[in-house]
Amino acid sequence: MTRVVLALLLALLVGCAKPTLDTTSEESYQKSLSDVLADLEEADRDEIQAFVAQAALADMFLKQGGQRSLMHDFNGQDGPQIAAALREQRAKRDREAAERSAAERAELAARKERISEFEELVSRVSASSLKIDDGNFIRRVTVEVANEGDLAVEGVRVRVRVVQPDRSVPWYDEVLQGSVEGGLEAGETKPVWIMGGSMYTGDILADVIKKNAGAVTQVSVEDVKFAGANAPERPLELSEFDAARLRQLDAAASAARSPSTAE
pLDDT, tens digit (0-9, with 9 covering 90-100), for 121-170: 999 999 999 999 987 678 899 999 999 999 999 999 999 999 998 899 99
CATH level 2 (architecture), domain 125-226 = Sandwich (2.60)
* Cα within 13 Å of Cα(227), Cβ side: 16
User: What's the pLDDT tens digit per position in 19-45?
Assistant: 998 888 888 888 988 888 888 888 988
Range list for CATH 2.60.40 in the chain: 125-226
- Model confidence at 9, in pLDDT bands (50, 70, 90)? very low
CA dist 49 and 32 (Å) reads 13
CA dist 30 and 69 (Å) reads 13
What's this model's pTM, rounded to 2 decimal places? 0.71
Distances (CA, A) of 184 to 131, 172, 176, 177, 192: 19, 27, 18, 15, 10
CA dist 83 and 20 (Å) reads 12
Q: What is the mean pLDDT of residues 211-233?
A: 94
What is the distance, to the nearest Å, from the Cα of residue 155 to the centroid of all Cα atoms in its chain?
31
Radius of gyration of the chain (CA): 36
User: What's the pLDDT tens digit per position in 174-215?
Assistant: 999 998 889 999 999 999 999 988 888 999 999 999 999 889
pLDDT value at position 5? 45
